[in-house]
Amino acid sequence: MRKQLSGKNIYKVTIKNIGGLVMPVTIEWVFTDGTKAIDKLQAQIWRRNEYIVTQTFVKYKKVETVSLDPNFEFPDSDVFNNTFPKLERASEFEKFKNNNRK
């Protein structure tokens, strides 16, 4: 088994179903060389546990970022928690401060 996985990168992705609606999952992988790949998981991944699922992926390249639902195809109440590493966004105070400068 180790010989088969030699030179490959193993990634374990845990997805939480916060809203409770069982939906398919689209994962976009951005690699360090700038290329991208898409994996689509069917809604059946939620059959054992409808709240949380962990899936293992084997990739030949190193991953820079991972995004869930990159094309915004499915309903989502918080799109800012769909990317790893987490995207930086301005706090409410920073937004208020910047609006007062204008």
- Residue-wise pLDDT for 9-46, tens only, equals 999 999 998 888 899 999 999 999 999 999 999 999 99
- CATH no. for residue 58? 2.60.40
How many domains are there within the chain? 1
Q: Cα–Cα distance between 42 and 59 in angstroms, integer? A: 19
Q: What are the helix (H) ranges across 1-102? A: 2-5, 92-101
Confidence (pLDDT) at 5:
72
pLDDT tens digits, one per residue of 56-100? 999 999 999 999 999 998 888 788 889 998 777 666 777 677 777
Residues 6 or more apart whose CB falls under 8 angstroms from that of 43 comprise: 22, 23, 24
Report the pLDDT value the prediction gives residue 20, as an integer from 0 to 100: 82
Tokens of 48: 């054992």
For residue 71, give Cα distances in angstroms to 2, 3, 28, 74. Answer: 35, 36, 9, 9
Q: Is the pLDDT of residue 53 over 90?
A: yes
Q: Which of 38, 36, 12 is nearest to 25 (CA)?
A: 38
Tell whether the model's pLDDT for residue 51 goes beyond 90. Answer: yes
Domain that holds residue 88: 2-101
